[in-house]
Each structure stands twice: as C-alpha cells, then as structure tokens.
Chain A
Amino acid sequence: MNGPPLEAWLALSAALFAVGLFGVLTRKNLVAILLGVELMANAANLNMVALGHFRGTPFGQAAALFSIALTVAEVVVGLAIVVLLARTHKSVDADAPSEMQG
C-alpha cells in the first residue's frame, strides 16, 4: 500500500482548487463562473475524502457526500438566477448587473 502519500493528494486538490479559482476570476460569463465554483467544490471534496482515507474514518466520505448534495442545491439555485438575469439584462455578462435596482 505504498501509493502516493497524503501530501500528494492534498497538493493535487490545492491545484484543482487554484484552477477553479482562476476560472471564477477570469470568466466573464456567469455560467462559466459557476463551472469554476464546481471545480473548487470538487477539489474540496477530494481533499476531504483523501483525509478520510488516510485517517480511516468514514466521516471524510460522509462530509464529501454532504458537500456534493449541497453543491447540487447551489448549482440549481445559481442557474435559476442566471436564467432570471439573462431574461432581465438581456445578457449573461457578469458585469452587466451593477446597479442596485433590477
């Protein structure tokens, strides 16, 4: 069982997280931003599972499971908002809606 050590896993998840973050910061399209968020969530799950695996507790996986469920809910609501915005602002550009009123 001399697979990759815990540090490797954590480094991988950090890398994934960084890429997701980069995606969120650079994309102009709202949906693309959501994709980035997905990536970051995924990285977090990986992190938890890795720790759970190396610590031998089921909680890692349980947490990951919960996180997946939460991410689903979040994406659903996110996309609903995107659709709403697309309808009101006629564009999906992240910078369009900058005034307080609708």
Chain B
Amino acid sequence: MIELAMVPVFLPLATFGVLAVLWPLRHSGMPAAWLSVASALASCVAAILAWTGAPVAGEPAQGMVFDWLVHDGKTIAEVGFRLDAISAPMLVVVTFVAACVQVYSLGYMAHEPRPALGRYFAWHSLFIVAMSGMVLAPNMLQFLACWELVGLCSYLLIGFYWDKPSAGRAAVKAVWVTRFADIGLMSGVVLLYVTTGGFAFEMTGDSGAATLVAALLFCGVMGKSAQVPLHVWLPDAMEGPTPVSALLHAATMVAAGVFLVVRAWPIFEAAPPVLTAMTWIGAVTALVAACTALVQHDIKKVLAYSTCSQLGYMVAALGTGSFFGGYFHLTTHAFFKALLFLAAGSVIHAVGTNDLREMGGLAKKTKLTAGLFILGALALAGVPPLSGFFSKDLVLEELLHAHAYGPLLICLAAAGLTAFYMTRVVCMAFLGPASARSLEAHESPPVMLLPMGALALTAAVAGFTTGRFGNDVALAPWHFAVTAPGVAALLLALGGIALAYMKYGQGKLAGLGVPALAAFIRSGPVDGLFVRGWQQGLRPLAGVVGWVDRYVVDGAVNLFGWAALVGSERMRVLQSGKLRDATYLLVMGALVVVAWGAIGGVR
C-alpha cells in the first residue's frame, strides 16, 4: 500500500531529474511535456489507489525510512513516508489537481518557446515531488524541508517569465514574505525538538511549550496560507502563468499551511489560545480579502483574493477545535478554485488580457468555458448541490458549536460578499455587451476543456464524499440543509448573487458603497506597510551597517596603517644625514647617560 503512495514522490522526481540533466530532452518541447504529464497522471492514479486502500484509522502505513540527521550516533530525524487518514486524501487532491493542470498546460503553454516549456514542466514535476513529500512527511523536519522546497517551486514558477521585471519582483517578494513567516515555523520546529527531543507531530508534557510551538508554527501558516498581514504576496503571485496560479496559488500550495495545522493537530489541540487566535485571524482574513476581491479589475487578482478569503475560512474552521471542517473545505475548495482559475485561464487565452473591463458577452463566444466558470462560481458561492455549500456550511456549523459568534458573523458576511464578487466577475466577463476583444475570442482547445470538465465533476460531486476525510463521521448530505448557519449562508449567497446581478447585470443600483471601498483598498494599506518596512526599515539599516563597516570598523584598521606611515615620517628626521644633527644627538645622548650615571652614582 505504502509503495503506491511513494509513486507520486519518486516518479515526478525521476522526471525532474531526467529533464534537468538531459537538456536536449528539455529543449525538445512537447516530448518533455508529455513525459511530465504522463508521470503526473500516473501519480494521480497511484494516489487514488492508495487513498482507497488507506487505513481509515489505527496504525498508519509507514515506509521507506532512511535516517537523515544523526546526533551522537543516534538518528534524530529520518526521511520516510506515512500514509494515514489525513495524508491520503490530501495526496489525492494534490496529484489530481496537478494532473489536470499539467494536461491543461499542454494547451495553454503550447506557444511558449521549447526550452521554456521544458523548464516549466520540469519545475511542475518538482512541485509535485515537494508537495507529495510534504503530505506524506512522517515527522516535522521532513515537513519543514518539503515546505521550503514548495516555496522554492513557487519562486521558480512565479518567476517563469523571468524576462518580465514585474514577474521577477513578484517571485522574490513571494519568497521574502513566506520565508519571513518561516522564521516562526523554523523556530517552532527547533523548539519542538528541544522540548521533545524529536520531530514527532505530537507533544507530550506541559501545555506551555505546546502553546508556544503551536503559535510559532501558526506564524509559518500565516505566511504560506496568506493570512491577513502576510497575504500581500499572493496577488502578486498572479504574475506566473495561469496554470501555475491554478495549481499553486489556488489549490495546493497555499493550502499547505492549513494542512500543517491538520497534520500537527495534537500540538494545536493542546494550545487553546492559539486556536481562538486562529478563528479571529481566519475570520478577519476572510472578510478583508472578500472586500478587496470586490474591487479588483484583474480576473486573476479577484480569484487570488477569493482564495485568500477561503483560506481564512479554513483557518477559522480549524480554530474551532475540530480540523474536520477546515480539511473538508480545503479539499472542495481545491477543486472548484482550480476549476475557476483554469476557466479564467482559458478566458485570458481567448481575449488575451486579464482586465475584466475589456471583457464582456463571452458567454456567446466561449460557451463551455462560460458554463464551467459559472459552475465553479456557484460552487464557491455555496449553492446547495455543489460541494462548496457543504464544506462552507460545515465550517459555519463548527463555528456555531464552538460558540465563536464573532467570527461566525464575520464569516457569514464574507459568504455574502463571496457570492457578490463572483457574480460580478461572471456578469462583467460573460454576460453584458460584447467588448471589442471578445468579438474575435475563440473557444479553447479540448486539451484545456477536458481537465476543466474533470475538475467541474469533482467540484460538483465532492460534497458527497464526506466520509473519508480525517474521521469516520459519515454525514449525509441532506443533513446540512436544515442547520441554522446553513440556511443563513444559503440566503446570504442568493441575496449576494441577486444584488450583484442587478448592479453589474442590469447596471441599476449604482454606488452601493463600492467605489469608496475601492479607493481605500486600492491604496494597498497592507502592501504599503511592507514596502515602507523595506524602504524605511531594512534597507537604511543595511546601509548604516554597511557604512559603519566600511568607514568605521575598517577605518579603525586603516588608522593603524595611517599611524604607521605618519610615525615613520616623523622618525625620518632623526636620520637626516646632516652632520650637526648627528653631533647634537650624540651630545644629548652622552649627556643623558652621564647624568644618569652621575645622579645614580652620587645617591
């Protein structure tokens, strides 16, 4: 069983190795692409088989352990794989979405120059390796290592168009912000080792250390899963190609933070204060991101902020004390958000621009893309039959059970807003008058539509597979319709859709406070914080340190050199070669000696 789970790690690793080393293959374009797609599909199949056979509870399947770090003869950390009820479903999600995106990329990236295409698919395979490695990590150290490797892949893939300066800056910004948060994560892992002597996911002993470790680990989560203050890198990450945004910055990578909490649940469970903090941070993120998404003109930026908002949902759900809601929302969100991104990709592919204002009336030209996009939007908004409704509702229910009323209200408001901005996008892009660009828009090739169809299927069906995620609570789907938060969420969603349709569909209802909100948000309060932090904080500090080192510490050293030079000039006078100076010195020397002898002698 465990060998199946290892396929998603070693097969793409082999592909990456082959593509990296044999550059003629990499430069060959399509063959390299097909190799990578084949390995992605194979890993997906293997993951599904592993998932079906995964032990629901009890002893997790452990495999392929070789020790990595050694300490005084004993091994303290090893590399291995652990397949259990938590890692199996995540593996499926990762590999499935990755496979769909890779197939999609065949079409979307077709016009890229051949070496770039090879490079793109090589890094894609590396991403699957890193993500699977993290999902199957048996201990915290391997989790951290793969976590950083995932960050590396995001750096490489965001910066795929490295000749575009904005892409370069976005890639670097992503790494800076995530690694800034990883300071906390690494400290947490180190503290975990120091207190427990190992890197296991649970912490026996006093809860004080557990709270601290949990808090530190949560810092890492905030960075990678773009919680409010540290979410600034996500919108810029849209500089990468759309399939990358779909895979990394919508479905899998950003969910790594949430998965960390789920994976290390025993630690977080023993740290209630951290959990309450999570609910609040999650709720606030959900609301703020939803508002920001409302005013974006770039279709990918809207989806990016929407992901940010949904991540807030998941973190809030985890904060309630049971990881089931968060985890379930993570999987369903992965499916429909990936679908939305791919659909957005094919829209961009069709009209050649991201800007919503230049789109319109695409429904007629690209029926399938429009249909799939709308299906995804409805799933995201939480309309019943689709999976979004079930997972979002479960989150709200958990918030209610945990009596976290504040975050519950915020999340409900966010739910309404989500429906509102998704409908805005649908109206601006697909309905309404056709803009100049949409006239010559053309439907995307089947190789792009097929994966979108597969994702649409899962987005619709995922709601009913509640039974296999983390615990064996088999909740019947109809159970949700009757719960209070479920009904409230549904009403809000429908209201949001109606309002948005009226405003953007028919153009009535001007205002609604959106422009005021737009002005404030576009000023980028949080982003400005970071930019100022760099321009007024870190760079001048570095400048001062550099100046001090070059001219003060180094200056002091040169002072000795200067003193030597000047000193030697003074001494030169003594050997002027002039006769009389010499005699004078002779006399004075003799005088001193004689005086010393005389005075000494007499005494």
Chain A interface residues (CB < 8 Å from chain B): 21, 24-25, 28, 33, 94-95, 97-100
Q: Report chain A residues within 8 Å CB of B578.
A: 94-95, 98
Pick the interface stretch among B542-550, B557-565, B580-588: B580-588
Contact yes or no, B580 A21, CB < 8 A = no
Prevailing SS type, chain B contact patch: helix
CB distance from A41 to the nearest CB of B (A): 15
Cβ contact of A99, chosen from B577, B579, B584, B587, cutoff 8 A: B577
Q: Are A25 and B577 in contact (CB under 8 A)?
A: no
A97 touches B579 (CB 8 A): yes
Query: Taking the complex as formed, is B568 at the interface, i.e. its CB lies under 8 A from any CB of chain A?
Result: no
B587 touches A21 (CB 8 A): yes
For the complex with contacts A21-B587, A25-B583, A28-B580, 13 further pairs of A-B residues with Cβ separation under 8 Å are A24-B583, A25-B580, A25-B584, A25-B587, A33-B579, A94-B580, A95-B579, A98-B576, A98-B577, A98-B578, A98-B579, A99-B577, A100-B577
- For B584, list chain A residues within 8 Å (CB): 25
Q: How far is it, in angstroms, between the C-alpha of A59 and the C-alpha of B204 when the chains are bound? A: 108
The residue from A21, A94, A100 contacting B579, defined by CB atoms under 8 A apart? A94
Q: Which residues 554-603 in B have Cβ within 8 Å of A in the complex?
A: 576-580, 583-584, 587
Chain A residues closer than 8 Å to B583, beta-carbon distance? 24-25
CA distance A21 to B576 in the complex (A): 21
| 9 nearest A-B pairs in the assembled complex, by CB-CB distance | A98-B577, A94-B579, A95-B578, A98-B578, A94-B580, A25-B584, A24-B583, A25-B583, A99-B577
Question: In the complex, A95 Cα to B579 Cα: how many Å?
Answer: 6
Consensus secondary structure, chain A interface: loop
List the B side residues contacting A100 at CB < 8 Å: 577
Q: Of residues B576, B583, B584, which shows the largest number of chain A Cβ atoms within 10 Å of its Cβ?
A: B583
Contacts of B579 in A (CB 8 A): 33, 94-95, 97-98
Which residue of chain B lies nearest to A94 when distances are taken between CB atoms in the complex? Answer: B579
Across-interface contacts of A28 in B (CB, < 8 A)? 580
| Complexed CA–CA distance, A42 and B577 (Å) | 29
Q: Across the interface, which residues of A come within 8 angstroms of B576, CB to CB?
A: 98
Residues of A within 8 A of B577 (CB): 98-100
- Measured between beta carbons, the chain B residues less than 8 angstroms from A99 are 577
Q: Which B residue's beta carbon lies closest to that of A100?
A: B577
B189 to chain A, nearest CB (A): 74
Q: How far is the CB of B9 from chain A (nearest CB, A)?
A: 82
Q: List 21 A-B contacts (CB under 8 A).
A: A21-B587, A24-B583, A25-B580, A25-B583, A25-B584, A25-B587, A28-B580, A33-B579, A94-B578, A94-B579, A94-B580, A95-B578, A95-B579, A95-B580, A97-B579, A98-B576, A98-B577, A98-B578, A98-B579, A99-B577, A100-B577
In the assembled complex, which residues on chain B have CB atoms less than 8 Å from the CB atom of A33?
Answer: 579
Q: Which residue of A lies closest to B575 (CB)?
A: A98
Nearest residue (CB) in A for B577 is A98
CB distance from B192 to the nearest CB of A (A): 77
- Which residue, B576, B580, B584, B587, has most C-beta atoms of chain A within 10 A? B580
Residue numbers in B under 8 Å from A97 (CB-CB): 579
Within the complex, what minimum Cβ distance (angstroms) separates B89 from chain A? Answer: 94
Q: How far is the CB of A63 from chain B (nearest CB, A)?
A: 20
In the complex, chain B residues whose CB is within 8 Å of the CB of A24: 583
Residues of A within 8 A of B587 (CB): 21, 25
User: Closest CB-CB distance, A22 to chain B, in whole Å?
Assistant: 10
Report the nearest A residue to B580, measured CB to CB. A94
| Closest A residue by C-beta to B579 | A94
**A97 CA / B587 CA spacing, docked (Å):** 20
Closest B residue, CB atoms, query A95: B578
A95 to B582, CA, bound (A): 11
Considering the chains assembled together, what is the distance between the CA atoms of A94 and B580 in angstroms?
A: 7
Return B235 CB to nearest CB of chain A, in Å.
79
Q: How far is the CA of A28 from the CA of B579 in the complex (A)?
A: 10
CA distance A25 to B583 in the complex (A): 7
What is the distance, in angstroms, from B87's C-beta to the closest C-beta of chain A?
88
Which residue of B has the minimal Cβ distance to A26? B580
Instruction: Please name the residue on chain B nearest to A36 by beta carbon.
Output: B583
